Amino acid sequence: MTHDRPVDPDLDTDATDTAGTTVPQHLRWSSVALVALGGTLGAALRELLVLAFPVTGSLDVVIFCINLSGALALGVLLEALLRSGPEDDRRRHLRLLLGTGVLGGYTTYSTLATQTARLVGDGQAGLAVLYSLGTLLLGALATWTGIALASWLRRPRSSRRSA
């Protein structure tokens, strides 16, 4: 079968339900299980770090670092998967387990929102703006850095030396 347009990589045309229709990736129990398992592991890792490094001031630096390191790791992961070949079941499962699951559970932008609201409530609106915008902008920069790093690492060694 040929397609005139790109096919959604999350739509596995080999998987069908009992009626014979194609089942989207996000509706398959195997995909949901991968994301749930990864999310559990990522959230557990985040909780371990939060417990190991308790908040000492008005700003939670640990969550800030978790969100930035998660953004960097997501950039590395997705670029590495993209450069490792065409989308297949193995890459799709790695993306769901590690990207959506582990890194989705590891990072916590809901805590960013809660902490920003707490800072505003405590009369520290300037710090709240700096914290929230800093996290978002530095998170975008971290993702871009991760993409660039994975791109550089996937190049042949000879071209890495000249870069």
d(CA 161, CA 71): 26
Side-chain-side CA neighbours of residue 56 (13 Å): 4
Instruction: Determine whether the annotation assigns residue 123 to a binding site.
Output: no
Residue with tokens 């871009």: 144
Instruction: Determine whether the annotation assigns residue 2 to a binding site.
Output: no
Helix axis angle, 125-153 to 61-83, nearest 10°: 30
State the greatest distance between any 2 C-alpha atoms of the chain, in Å, as a whole number: 62
Q: Please report, in range form, the residues annotated as the binding site for Na(+).
A: 104, 107
Binding-site entries: 104, 107
